[in-house]
Structure 1
Amino acid sequence: MISSEPISIGHVLHQETNQVVLEVVIPGPQFAFLEIDGTFLPLYLEPRRDLQLYMGSTDPTSIRFEGPSAIANGYLAKAHAIRQRAEQSAGRHYTQLSLTEFTTHLNAVRGQYERLDQTVLAKTNLADSLKEVLSARNQVSLIFIQQNYVLAHYGEKLSQVPDPLKAVVQPPLFNSRFVRFKMSEYADIAHIYVSYILRSLLSSPKMISDSTALAVDRFIQNSPYSLAEKDYLRAKNCYNWLTITGIIPATDQLITQYKASFPNSFYLSTLAQLYQKWSALASGQPAPDFYGVTPRGDTLALSSLKGKVVYVDVWATWCMPCRAEFPQANQLQQQFSSTPGVVFLYVSIDQNQVAWKKLLQDDTHLTGIHINQASVEQAGSLWKPYLLISIPRYILIDQKGRIVQANADRPSSGKVAAAIQELML
């Protein structure tokens, strides 16, 4: 629940024409999603209880459920249909609406959820505790919609959020059942709160640094949250920063402080798993090989550059923060233009190779070695081995093909030249 990564909990046990049997092993009641051809359908599952789905299409309102949890799943399907419709208002995404339009739209969606509770949930014989969680899930979805709207319109000026949306910059409502039932929607709003809202409130968007992680942690510690809330939010902060930065002194300090406060936390195992993944990318570890296609159509691998210091820049033509670094990257290359033992490797993840090649021709700052990986899932991709979640991303590798920094400083930091020079000594 502190991770936003999807976890597979079932596999196909038996398959025939028009019939698939899935076996799912879970420790207790929980929410999950069934993926069919890229469409995700929410489910409520209970241990040792069968659930049958009869589908004419992936439209959630057309699905018929049978089994002990059929009523809960029928309700979920209707709530999911409301949530899908909430994405648009009069042909526009809700983030494109004016504040007045958005408020009207939000109230309309809230009204649909309330009518669903009155006409369906209130008339069922479900346990009150389950009714509460099902209804709360809708409220969490409303918070998610508001968070996205606030970030789209006031992302760098959260202090200017208008009164109708002020509650969004406050801590999200917490219920231990959200965690126990593995409500991914709650994980989403907690992620936005810790990763974007708190971070923006505690630092300038242009000055976010490693110290911001510790500032967020101190803020949570000193706030009047319950112990359960502090446990969850601090764990979420640790996980988010470890995901972004990898193992650095700031994340080590963050995790050490968290462990001291919650030595028996439920979330420690998830943190340990991510920490172990990043340990494989620690300084001195062999750099996982990857390869891509050059503008001429040849294949080039990282391993072919062994014997040289390699500064890797992962980017795309549509990534404006990536492109904003190119002038500084070019200046950096000029510093080492007479040093044959240093190469600058640009790895584009553009699916549109025509756009990639055109930019290489048009942008005079884009010197260096260039390869393209059109899919993060393709063979030889660096996305998973290097635990990428976003771009730009920079990696520094030494002459022996070992990692120096798996999450290196960007060209504009002013720190890269010194790091490269140190490797040349």
Structure 2
Amino acid sequence: MVSMDGIILGRVRLDSAGKGVLEVPVDAPVFAYLNGDVISAGMLLYPGDDVVIVPSANGTKVDIQFEGDGAAINQAYHEAQQNRNDFDKWNGKYYFHLPPDEFLKAKDSLRSYYDQLLTQLKPDDQIPAERLDLIKRQMDMHVAFYQFNFAIGKDSAEIPAQVRKFVSKIPVDTMAIQTGMFDYALIASQFYRNEISDAIYEENKEVDGDSLETIFPILVEQKIKAAKYPGLVEDLVRAMGVHVQIAMNGLTPDLLKTARKLGKELGSDDFKNAIHEDVAKWEKIGPGKPAPDFSGLTPDGKKLALSDLRGRIVYVDIWATWCGYCIEEFPDSQKMQEEFKGNDKVAFLYVSVDQDTLAWKKMMAGKKVPNGLHMLHGTNGPQSIWNLYHVSGIPRYLLIDGDGRMVAAHAERPSSGNVQAELRKLLTARHIAEK
């Protein structure tokens, strides 16, 4: 619910007849997802459930049928999941691009569809009221997410008043957290970014950027505490806040202090573990740690690896041709290089994460990039720069010393004007060490 990464409960390989049995550990009700080559389905699982999934008869509107425990609930949930995409567009437009009045019609249509599904389910011996309540909560949460997603990035005038009021607060539903409703995790993430993080930036526009970054974790904690959410909801938003801040800024001393505080105060072991994992993975690329190696192809088709530059201080610029913010930094990057022209102890490495090789080659040929070393590294595998350095957005900059050790996993931008001083300091330290 914090990182929104999937947790694999188990795997099964079907036999030649297309059959298989899978046992998974479930100690409380949980929303899970079955994913296979030809079958995908959302399910609500309870401890002790014996669930059977079989192909639907030809001509039916859904591809599979549930039998056994919770069959009716899971059938309705699966049908709802299959038909969600039908509501992503309204009269040919994606719902988040609709004008306010049209969006309200789309939202009401989604709500009506879910209500119709729910009227087919009646609490009785076969459908316990508790399961019915959870599936209704899940459908309510998707309608909530529908509104939160519509409101992202829009001015107040573009959002209907009722939606604007709704998304100004996070829905309070501890059962959504306990049962792992993915829509609720998405809402919590969006709520943190829009109503907490963005609000703090807006409220502190006059504060110097570096000063604000130092006190930002404290301001986040204060704003969340002031809202007085129920314990589990507050814990999720606090954990989500630290998770997002670490992803965006790396593990700064102030964030590390806040993370350790949460490790003592959060009531949920799952949330504590999520923050602990964030801290652990960033500490692996903390100052003084070996910089993970990566490689790519130069414009002339030769292989180049970070390790090939050992002995030189390396400033790494992670960018792409489609990233406007990246390209805006190039003039300052070129000016920065001029200060170290002829110094073979400093290397400027530009790592493109483009998937479109032709777009990269065209831009390189057009001489619209700074001088320096260039490589194409468009992979997203386990050993990609995305994963090795936990890149969540670009541009992103790394600073690595001559011994191949990390100086900064979130180095400053060329336009900051501060990189040159850091490079000179590293050069001085290396010169002294060589003596």
TM (normalized to structure 2)? 0.89
Give the aligned partner of residue 395 of structure 1. 398
- Number of corresponding residues: 420
In structure 1, the partner of 2:432 is none
- Tell me the SS of whatever aligns to 1:22: coil
Deviation at 1:266, TM superposition (A): 4.6
1:266-285 mapped onto 2 (5 Å cutoff): 266-285=270-289
- Partners of 2:313 and 2:401 within 8 A in 1: yes
Give per-residue Cα distances to partners, 1:382-425, cap 9 Å, x unaligned.
22121222222211111000011112222222222222221111
Any gaps of 5 or more consecutive residues in structure 2?
429-435
Shift of 1:193: 0.6
In structure 2, how many angstroms separate the alpha carbons of the residues matched to 1:141 and 1:210? 36
Please list the CA deviations of residues 78-115 of structure 1 after superposition, one character each: whole Å capped at 9, or x if unmatched.
22133221111122111221111111111111111111
Counterpart position of 1:236: 240
Distance 1:210 1:19 in 2: 57
Say yes or no: does 1:198 pair with 2:196. yes
Give the 3-state SS of the residue equivalent to 2:15 in structure 1: strand
SS for the counterpart of 1:371 is strand
- The percent identity for this pair of structures is 29
Deviation at 1:236, TM superposition (A): 1.5
* Secondary structure in 2 matching 1:269: helix
Between the aligned partners of 1:406 and 1:172, the Cα distance in structure 2 is 33
Q: Distance in 2 between the 1:11 and 1:182 partners?
A: 19
Q: 2:28 aligns to what? A: 28
Counterpart amino acid of residue 403 in structure 2: K
Aligned-pair CA distance for 1:183: 1.3
CA deviation map 1:145-191 (0-9, x unaligned):
2122111423xxx5985412223432321222212211111111101
CA distance in 2, matches of 1:232, 1:275: 17
Change (3 A) 1:227 1:277: same
Change in CA separation of 1:226 and 1:373 when aligned onto 2, cut-off 3 Å: same
Q: Which of these residues, 361, 364, 367, is aligned with residue 368 of structure 2?
A: 364
Alignment counterpart, residue 408 of structure 1, candidates 411, 418, 421: 411
Aligned to 1:52: 52
AA matched with 1:85: D
Structure 1's unaligned 5+ residue stretches are none
Which residue does 1:178 correspond to in 2? Answer: 176
Query: Who is 1:9 aligned against?
Result: 9
Aligned to 2:137: 136
Quick one: which of 387, 407, 426 aligns to 1:423? 426
**Match of 1:295, SS?**
coil
Contact 2:312 2:402 in 1 (8 A): yes
What is the CA–CA distance in structure 2 between the aligned matches of 1:387 and 1:291, rounded to whole Å? 16
Name which of structure 1's ranges 311-320 and 251-260 shifts more when overlaid on structure 2.
251-260
Q: Which residue of 2 aligns with 1:80?
A: 81
Q: 1:55 to 1:371 in 2, by over 3 A?
A: farther
Bigger mean CA deviation after superposition, 289-298 or 382-391: 382-391
Q: CA deviation at 1:251?
A: 0.8
TM-score of the superposed pair, with normalisation by structure 1 = 0.91
Closer, same or farther: CA 19–119 of 1 in aligned 2, 3 Å: same
Counterpart of 2:114?
Answer: 113
Using a 3 Å threshold, how does the CA distance of structure 1 residues 363 and 169 change in structure 2: closer, same or farther? farther
Q: Is the counterpart of residue 345 in structure 1 residue 343 in structure 2?
A: no
Q: CA deviation at 1:15?
A: 3.5
Which has the higher Rg, Structure 1 or Structure 2? 2
Are residue 226 (structure 1) and residue 223 (structure 2) matched? no
Q: Do the aligned residues in 1 keep the contact of 2:263 with 2:276 (CA within 8 Å)?
A: no
State how far apart, in whole Å, the 1-side matches of 2:66 and 2:420 are: 62
